[in-house]
Amino acid sequence: MSGGERDVAVLGAGMHPWGKWGRGFVAYGTAAARAALRDAGVDWRDVDSVVGADTVRGGYPGYVAGATFARALGWQGARVTSVYAACASGAQAIGTARAQILAGLADVVLVVGADAAPKGFFAPAGGERPDDPDWLRFRLLGATNPAYFGLYARRRMALYGDTVEDFALVKVKNAAAGALNPYARYRRAVTAEEVAASAVVADPLRLLDICATSDGGAALVLSSMEYARRHGTADPVRVRAVSTVTPAYPRTVLDLPDIATDSAAAVEPATGSFRASIARAAYEEAGVSPDELSLAEVYDLSTALELEWYEDIGLCGAGEGAKLVREGVTALGGRVPVNPSGGLASFGEAVPAQAIAQVCELTRQLRGEAGERQVPGARVGITANQGLFGHGSAVLALR
Protein backbone atom coordinates (compact mmCIF):
# COMPACT_ATOMS: atom_id res chain seq x y z
CA MET A 1 0.00 0.00 0.00
CA SER A 2 1.07 3.58 -0.64
CA GLY A 3 0.92 6.11 2.19
CA GLY A 4 -2.52 7.39 1.21
CA GLU A 5 -3.92 3.86 0.93
CA ARG A 6 -2.99 3.27 4.58
CA ASP A 7 -4.85 6.37 5.79
CA VAL A 8 -7.67 6.17 8.30
CA ALA A 9 -9.90 9.13 9.08
CA VAL A 10 -10.17 10.80 12.47
CA LEU A 11 -13.88 11.59 12.60
CA GLY A 12 -14.04 12.60 16.25
CA ALA A 13 -11.85 13.54 19.21
CA GLY A 14 -13.03 13.92 22.79
CA MET A 15 -11.51 14.36 26.24
CA HIS A 16 -12.40 14.57 29.91
CA PRO A 17 -10.43 17.36 31.61
CA TRP A 18 -7.32 16.27 33.53
CA GLY A 19 -7.14 16.82 37.28
CA LYS A 20 -7.82 14.99 40.53
CA TRP A 21 -11.55 14.46 40.45
CA GLY A 22 -12.02 11.59 42.89
CA ARG A 23 -14.01 9.39 40.51
CA GLY A 24 -13.29 6.10 38.74
CA PHE A 25 -11.59 5.80 35.39
CA VAL A 26 -14.77 4.52 33.73
CA ALA A 27 -16.51 7.87 34.28
CA TYR A 28 -13.66 9.76 32.60
CA GLY A 29 -13.38 7.38 29.66
CA THR A 30 -17.13 7.29 29.08
CA ALA A 31 -17.32 11.10 29.08
CA ALA A 32 -14.44 11.28 26.59
CA ALA A 33 -16.04 8.60 24.38
CA ARG A 34 -19.37 10.41 24.27
CA ALA A 35 -17.59 13.67 23.43
CA ALA A 36 -15.71 11.97 20.58
CA LEU A 37 -18.94 10.44 19.21
CA ARG A 38 -20.64 13.84 19.31
CA ASP A 39 -17.67 15.42 17.57
CA ALA A 40 -17.83 12.73 14.88
CA GLY A 41 -21.59 12.90 14.48
CA VAL A 42 -21.64 9.09 14.87
CA ASP A 43 -24.25 7.17 16.84
CA TRP A 44 -22.81 4.77 19.40
CA ARG A 45 -24.88 1.98 17.85
CA ASP A 46 -23.01 2.45 14.56
CA VAL A 47 -19.60 1.71 16.13
CA ASP A 48 -18.26 -1.64 14.92
CA SER A 49 -15.40 -2.03 17.38
CA VAL A 50 -14.14 -0.63 20.68
CA VAL A 51 -10.44 -0.65 21.52
CA GLY A 52 -9.68 0.21 25.15
CA ALA A 53 -6.27 1.11 26.54
CA ASP A 54 -5.97 -0.78 29.83
CA THR A 55 -5.82 0.91 33.19
CA VAL A 56 -3.09 -0.93 35.11
CA ARG A 57 -0.85 -0.75 38.12
CA GLY A 58 2.70 -2.07 38.04
CA GLY A 59 2.29 -4.05 34.82
CA TYR A 60 -0.72 -6.11 35.90
CA PRO A 61 -3.96 -5.44 33.97
CA GLY A 62 -6.52 -4.30 36.50
CA TYR A 63 -9.47 -3.87 34.18
CA VAL A 64 -10.71 -5.23 30.86
CA ALA A 65 -10.83 -1.80 29.29
CA GLY A 66 -12.50 -2.47 25.93
CA ALA A 67 -15.43 -4.36 27.43
CA THR A 68 -15.60 -1.99 30.40
CA PHE A 69 -16.25 1.00 28.14
CA ALA A 70 -18.59 -0.93 25.83
CA ARG A 71 -20.67 -1.92 28.84
CA ALA A 72 -20.70 1.63 30.22
CA LEU A 73 -21.88 3.01 26.88
CA GLY A 74 -24.50 0.27 26.53
CA TRP A 75 -24.02 -3.21 25.07
CA GLN A 76 -24.67 -3.12 21.32
CA GLY A 77 -22.67 -6.07 20.02
CA ALA A 78 -19.45 -4.32 18.94
CA ARG A 79 -16.26 -6.35 18.98
CA VAL A 80 -13.85 -5.33 21.73
CA THR A 81 -10.09 -5.32 22.21
CA SER A 82 -8.05 -4.38 25.27
CA VAL A 83 -4.46 -3.17 24.98
CA TYR A 84 -1.68 -2.77 27.51
CA ALA A 85 1.66 -1.22 26.61
CA ALA A 86 2.35 1.02 29.61
CA CYS A 87 2.58 4.66 28.46
CA ALA A 88 2.33 3.52 24.84
CA SER A 89 -1.06 1.86 25.43
CA GLY A 90 -2.98 4.61 23.65
CA ALA A 91 -0.82 4.42 20.53
CA GLN A 92 -1.13 0.63 20.42
CA ALA A 93 -4.90 1.04 20.76
CA ILE A 94 -4.87 3.44 17.79
CA GLY A 95 -2.67 1.01 15.85
CA THR A 96 -5.06 -1.86 16.61
CA ALA A 97 -8.07 0.20 15.48
CA ARG A 98 -6.27 1.20 12.30
CA ALA A 99 -5.37 -2.41 11.53
CA GLN A 100 -8.99 -3.50 11.94
CA ILE A 101 -10.15 -0.75 9.58
CA LEU A 102 -7.51 -1.44 6.92
CA ALA A 103 -8.23 -5.19 7.12
CA GLY A 104 -11.90 -4.51 6.42
CA LEU A 105 -13.03 -5.86 9.80
CA ALA A 106 -14.61 -2.57 10.87
CA ASP A 107 -15.70 0.72 9.32
CA VAL A 108 -15.90 2.73 12.55
CA VAL A 109 -13.79 2.12 15.67
CA LEU A 110 -13.93 3.90 19.02
CA VAL A 111 -10.58 4.15 20.85
CA VAL A 112 -10.73 5.01 24.56
CA GLY A 113 -8.21 5.44 27.38
CA ALA A 114 -8.71 6.77 30.91
CA ASP A 115 -7.15 6.60 34.35
CA ALA A 116 -7.66 7.56 37.97
CA ALA A 117 -4.06 7.80 39.09
CA PRO A 118 -2.74 7.49 42.64
CA LYS A 119 -1.31 10.49 44.43
CA GLY A 120 2.45 10.86 44.28
CA PHE A 121 4.92 8.68 42.38
CA PHE A 122 3.84 5.67 40.40
CA ALA A 123 4.97 2.45 42.06
CA PRO A 124 4.71 -1.26 41.21
CA ALA A 125 2.07 -3.45 42.79
CA GLY A 126 2.91 -4.92 46.19
CA GLY A 127 4.22 -8.36 46.97
CA GLU A 128 7.48 -10.19 46.27
CA ARG A 129 8.03 -10.37 42.50
CA PRO A 130 11.73 -10.80 41.70
CA ASP A 131 10.92 -11.57 38.04
CA ASP A 132 9.33 -8.12 37.55
CA PRO A 133 11.97 -5.54 36.47
CA ASP A 134 9.70 -2.70 37.56
CA TRP A 135 9.51 -4.16 41.08
CA LEU A 136 13.27 -4.83 41.06
CA ARG A 137 14.32 -1.26 40.30
CA PHE A 138 12.27 -0.01 43.25
CA ARG A 139 13.45 -2.75 45.64
CA LEU A 140 17.13 -2.79 44.63
CA LEU A 141 17.74 0.85 43.72
CA GLY A 142 14.85 2.79 45.19
CA ALA A 143 14.64 4.27 41.70
CA THR A 144 11.36 6.13 41.43
CA ASN A 145 10.50 7.59 38.03
CA PRO A 146 11.80 11.08 38.99
CA ALA A 147 15.14 9.51 39.97
CA TYR A 148 15.41 8.16 36.43
CA PHE A 149 14.44 11.54 34.98
CA GLY A 150 17.18 13.11 37.08
CA LEU A 151 19.76 10.64 35.73
CA TYR A 152 18.81 11.56 32.16
CA ALA A 153 19.05 15.26 32.98
CA ARG A 154 22.55 14.77 34.42
CA ARG A 155 23.54 12.83 31.31
CA ARG A 156 22.49 15.73 29.08
CA MET A 157 24.38 18.17 31.26
CA ALA A 158 27.52 16.05 31.05
CA LEU A 159 27.33 15.30 27.33
CA TYR A 160 25.96 18.52 25.89
CA GLY A 161 26.33 21.23 28.49
CA ASP A 162 22.60 21.67 29.08
CA THR A 163 21.80 23.73 32.15
CA VAL A 164 19.02 23.85 34.72
CA GLU A 165 18.06 27.17 33.14
CA ASP A 166 17.50 25.37 29.81
CA PHE A 167 15.27 22.82 31.52
CA ALA A 168 13.25 25.59 33.16
CA LEU A 169 12.57 27.17 29.76
CA VAL A 170 10.73 24.01 28.71
CA LYS A 171 8.36 24.32 31.67
CA VAL A 172 7.83 28.02 30.99
CA LYS A 173 6.96 27.24 27.35
CA ASN A 174 4.59 24.39 28.15
CA ALA A 175 2.86 26.21 31.00
CA ALA A 176 2.16 29.15 28.68
CA ALA A 177 0.45 26.79 26.21
CA GLY A 178 -1.36 24.84 28.93
CA ALA A 179 -2.82 28.06 30.32
CA LEU A 180 -4.78 28.28 27.04
CA ASN A 181 -6.08 24.69 27.11
CA PRO A 182 -9.44 24.06 28.82
CA TYR A 183 -8.61 20.35 29.28
CA ALA A 184 -5.32 20.95 31.11
CA ARG A 185 -4.99 20.41 34.85
CA TYR A 186 -2.56 23.27 35.40
CA ARG A 187 -3.69 26.42 33.61
CA ARG A 188 -1.26 29.03 34.87
CA ALA A 189 1.81 30.49 33.24
CA VAL A 190 5.01 30.20 35.27
CA THR A 191 8.36 31.98 35.20
CA ALA A 192 11.86 30.54 35.17
CA GLU A 193 12.31 32.03 38.63
CA GLU A 194 9.34 30.04 39.92
CA VAL A 195 10.82 26.83 38.49
CA ALA A 196 14.15 27.58 40.19
CA ALA A 197 12.40 28.29 43.49
CA SER A 198 10.44 25.02 43.53
CA ALA A 199 11.64 22.11 45.67
CA VAL A 200 14.35 19.75 44.44
CA VAL A 201 12.85 16.32 43.76
CA ALA A 202 15.67 14.47 41.96
CA ASP A 203 18.68 16.71 41.50
CA PRO A 204 18.97 18.62 39.19
CA LEU A 205 15.21 18.47 38.57
CA ARG A 206 12.78 20.47 40.67
CA LEU A 207 9.10 19.99 41.32
CA LEU A 208 8.10 22.12 38.34
CA ASP A 209 10.48 20.17 36.06
CA ILE A 210 8.56 16.89 36.41
CA CYS A 211 4.99 15.88 35.61
CA ALA A 212 2.30 14.97 38.11
CA THR A 213 0.01 11.92 38.19
CA SER A 214 -3.52 12.79 37.11
CA ASP A 215 -7.05 11.59 36.38
CA GLY A 216 -8.29 12.05 32.84
CA GLY A 217 -9.65 10.46 29.69
CA ALA A 218 -9.35 10.72 25.91
CA ALA A 219 -11.09 9.09 22.97
CA LEU A 220 -11.04 9.03 19.17
CA VAL A 221 -13.51 7.86 16.54
CA LEU A 222 -11.58 6.42 13.59
CA SER A 223 -13.03 5.22 10.31
CA SER A 224 -12.16 4.08 6.83
CA MET A 225 -11.78 6.85 4.25
CA GLU A 226 -14.75 5.43 2.36
CA TYR A 227 -16.96 5.64 5.45
CA ALA A 228 -15.78 9.23 6.05
CA ARG A 229 -16.85 10.19 2.52
CA ARG A 230 -20.25 8.53 2.95
CA HIS A 231 -20.55 10.30 6.28
CA GLY A 232 -20.05 13.66 4.56
CA THR A 233 -16.51 14.31 5.79
CA ALA A 234 -14.60 14.95 2.59
CA ASP A 235 -11.33 16.23 4.08
CA PRO A 236 -10.78 14.64 7.49
CA VAL A 237 -7.62 14.57 9.54
CA ARG A 238 -5.88 11.33 8.56
CA VAL A 239 -3.68 8.99 10.54
CA ARG A 240 -1.03 7.91 8.06
CA ALA A 241 1.43 6.04 10.30
CA VAL A 242 1.53 4.38 13.70
CA SER A 243 4.91 3.26 15.04
CA THR A 244 5.07 0.75 17.89
CA VAL A 245 8.63 -0.50 17.36
CA THR A 246 10.83 -2.15 19.98
CA PRO A 247 14.51 -1.57 20.81
CA ALA A 248 17.40 -3.13 18.89
CA TYR A 249 20.20 -5.12 20.53
CA PRO A 250 22.49 -4.07 22.10
CA ARG A 251 21.14 -1.24 24.25
CA THR A 252 23.90 0.96 25.59
CA VAL A 253 21.88 3.54 27.53
CA LEU A 254 19.96 2.75 30.71
CA ASP A 255 16.21 2.71 30.15
CA LEU A 256 13.48 2.14 32.74
CA PRO A 257 12.56 -0.29 34.15
CA ASP A 258 15.81 -2.07 33.24
CA ILE A 259 18.68 -1.38 35.60
CA ALA A 260 21.48 -2.53 33.29
CA THR A 261 22.41 -2.19 29.63
CA ASP A 262 23.15 -4.88 27.05
CA SER A 263 26.79 -5.59 26.35
CA ALA A 264 28.18 -4.10 23.15
CA ALA A 265 31.39 -6.13 23.42
CA ALA A 266 30.51 -8.48 20.56
CA VAL A 267 27.94 -6.46 18.59
CA GLU A 268 28.21 -2.90 17.37
CA PRO A 269 25.54 -0.63 18.87
CA ALA A 270 22.65 0.29 16.61
CA THR A 271 22.79 3.67 14.91
CA GLY A 272 20.72 6.07 16.95
CA SER A 273 18.68 5.52 20.08
CA PHE A 274 15.51 3.54 20.68
CA ARG A 275 13.48 6.74 20.94
CA ALA A 276 14.87 8.02 17.64
CA SER A 277 13.88 4.73 15.97
CA ILE A 278 10.26 5.22 17.09
CA ALA A 279 9.82 8.46 15.14
CA ARG A 280 11.96 7.26 12.24
CA ALA A 281 9.66 4.28 11.66
CA ALA A 282 6.64 6.61 11.56
CA TYR A 283 8.31 8.96 9.07
CA GLU A 284 9.31 6.04 6.84
CA GLU A 285 5.83 4.53 6.88
CA ALA A 286 4.18 7.87 6.12
CA GLY A 287 6.69 8.99 3.49
CA VAL A 288 7.15 12.24 5.42
CA SER A 289 10.32 13.96 6.65
CA PRO A 290 10.85 15.92 9.87
CA ASP A 291 11.24 19.06 7.75
CA GLU A 292 7.54 18.84 6.87
CA LEU A 293 6.30 18.95 10.47
CA SER A 294 3.97 21.74 11.54
CA LEU A 295 3.90 20.65 15.19
CA ALA A 296 4.67 17.77 17.55
CA GLU A 297 3.32 16.39 20.81
CA VAL A 298 6.04 14.63 22.81
CA TYR A 299 6.23 12.87 26.14
CA ASP A 300 7.62 15.46 28.56
CA LEU A 301 7.84 13.35 31.70
CA SER A 302 10.48 15.89 32.61
CA THR A 303 11.73 19.10 31.06
CA ALA A 304 15.07 17.46 30.23
CA LEU A 305 13.38 14.56 28.46
CA GLU A 306 11.50 16.96 26.20
CA LEU A 307 14.82 18.31 24.96
CA GLU A 308 15.86 14.74 24.18
CA TRP A 309 12.69 14.26 22.11
CA TYR A 310 13.51 17.29 19.92
CA GLU A 311 16.55 15.37 18.76
CA ASP A 312 14.78 12.01 18.57
CA ILE A 313 12.01 13.29 16.27
CA GLY A 314 14.55 14.91 13.96
CA LEU A 315 14.09 18.60 14.71
CA CYS A 316 17.82 18.99 15.34
CA GLY A 317 21.03 17.05 15.88
CA ALA A 318 22.21 15.41 19.10
CA GLY A 319 22.88 17.95 21.82
CA GLU A 320 21.08 20.78 20.00
CA GLY A 321 17.71 20.54 21.77
CA ALA A 322 18.45 23.27 24.30
CA LYS A 323 19.32 25.68 21.50
CA LEU A 324 15.83 25.24 20.02
CA VAL A 325 14.05 26.07 23.26
CA ARG A 326 16.34 29.04 23.93
CA GLU A 327 15.53 30.46 20.48
CA GLY A 328 11.77 29.89 20.81
CA VAL A 329 11.65 27.46 17.88
CA THR A 330 9.41 25.02 19.78
CA ALA A 331 7.14 27.58 21.47
CA LEU A 332 3.75 28.73 20.21
CA GLY A 333 4.58 31.10 17.37
CA GLY A 334 7.87 29.28 16.71
CA ARG A 335 8.87 27.34 13.60
CA VAL A 336 7.75 23.94 14.98
CA PRO A 337 5.71 24.24 18.18
CA VAL A 338 6.19 21.23 20.45
CA ASN A 339 3.49 20.39 23.00
CA PRO A 340 1.09 23.19 22.00
CA SER A 341 -1.40 21.36 24.24
CA GLY A 342 0.76 22.19 27.25
CA GLY A 343 2.17 18.66 27.42
CA LEU A 344 2.39 16.52 30.53
CA ALA A 345 3.76 19.60 32.29
CA SER A 346 0.23 20.98 32.14
CA PHE A 347 -1.73 17.72 32.22
CA GLY A 348 0.16 15.16 34.30
CA GLU A 349 0.11 11.44 33.55
CA ALA A 350 -3.13 9.54 33.01
CA VAL A 351 -1.26 6.63 31.49
CA PRO A 352 -3.78 4.87 29.18
CA ALA A 353 -5.15 8.18 27.92
CA GLN A 354 -2.09 10.26 27.20
CA ALA A 355 -1.04 8.93 23.77
CA ILE A 356 -4.68 9.26 22.67
CA ALA A 357 -4.81 12.80 24.08
CA GLN A 358 -1.76 13.66 21.99
CA VAL A 359 -3.68 12.68 18.83
CA CYS A 360 -6.70 14.68 20.05
CA GLU A 361 -4.43 17.74 20.08
CA LEU A 362 -3.09 16.98 16.59
CA THR A 363 -6.68 16.63 15.38
CA ARG A 364 -7.74 20.01 16.74
CA GLN A 365 -4.62 21.70 15.39
CA LEU A 366 -4.93 20.16 11.92
CA ARG A 367 -8.60 21.16 11.78
CA GLY A 368 -7.74 24.71 12.83
CA GLU A 369 -9.85 24.37 15.99
CA ALA A 370 -7.23 24.97 18.70
CA GLY A 371 -8.22 28.54 19.49
CA GLU A 372 -5.48 30.63 21.09
CA ARG A 373 -3.11 27.64 20.84
CA GLN A 374 -3.59 27.31 17.09
CA VAL A 375 -0.50 26.66 14.99
CA PRO A 376 -1.16 28.66 11.80
CA GLY A 377 -1.56 26.53 8.68
CA ALA A 378 -0.89 23.24 10.50
CA ARG A 379 -0.79 20.36 8.04
CA VAL A 380 1.47 17.62 9.47
CA GLY A 381 1.96 16.55 13.08
CA ILE A 382 3.64 13.73 14.98
CA THR A 383 3.22 12.36 18.48
CA ALA A 384 5.96 10.52 20.33
CA ASN A 385 6.20 8.73 23.64
CA GLN A 386 7.62 5.57 25.09
CA GLY A 387 6.23 2.86 27.34
CA LEU A 388 8.06 0.71 29.86
CA PHE A 389 9.32 -2.69 28.71
CA GLY A 390 10.33 -1.49 25.22
CA HIS A 391 7.08 -0.10 23.83
CA GLY A 392 7.44 2.50 21.11
CA SER A 393 4.70 5.02 20.41
CA ALA A 394 4.40 7.51 17.57
CA VAL A 395 1.44 8.57 15.45
CA LEU A 396 1.78 10.72 12.35
CA ALA A 397 -1.32 12.61 11.22
CA LEU A 398 -1.89 15.06 8.41
CA ARG A 399 -4.50 16.96 6.50
8 A C-beta contact, residue 117 and residue 141: no
Q: Provide the residue type at 161 as one letter.
A: G
Distance of CA 186 to the CA centre of its chain: 18
Cα–Cα distance between 17 and 146 in angstroms, integer? 24
- Share the mean pLDDT of the chain: 94
Q: Where are the beta strands (DSSP E) in the chain?
A: 8-19, 49-53, 56-57, 60-61, 79-83, 108-116, 200-202, 205-206, 215-223, 237-243, 295-298, 380-387, 391-398
Cis preceding-peptide flag for 247 (omega within 30 of 0):
no
Per-residue pLDDT at 221: 98
Cα–Cα distance between 14 and 398 in angstroms, integer? 18
Question: Which range among 55-69, 90-104, 135-149, 150-164 shows the weakest confidence by mean pLDDT?
Answer: 55-69
8 A C-beta contact, residue 221 and residue 108: yes
8-state DSSP, 44: G
pLDDT digits (tens, 9 = 90+) for 240-295: 999 999 998 888 888 878 778 888 788 888 788 899 999 999 999 999 999 999 99
CB-based burial of residue 141 (10 Å sphere; 0-12 exposed, 13-18 middle, 19+ buried)?
exposed
Task: Report the DSSP beta bridge partners of residue 227.
Answer: none
Residue 30 above 60 pLDDT? Answer: yes
What average pLDDT does this structure show over 346-366?
97
Cα–Cα distance between 212 and 276 in angstroms, integer? 25
Cα–Cα distance between 52 and 221 in angstroms, integer? 12
Nearest by Cα to 297 from 390, 218, 196: 218
- Distances, alpha carbon 326 to alpha carbons 169, 294, 322, in Å: 7, 19, 6
What average pLDDT does this structure show over 62-91?
93
- Distances, alpha carbon 57 to alpha carbons 123, 172, 289, 387, in Å: 8, 31, 36, 13
Residue 50 gets the label, from left (phi > 0), alpha (psi -120 to 50) or beta, of: beta
**154 against 60, higher pLDDT:** 154
**47 against 56, higher pLDDT:** 47
CB-based burial of residue 232 (10 Å sphere; 0-12 exposed, 13-18 middle, 19+ buried)?
exposed
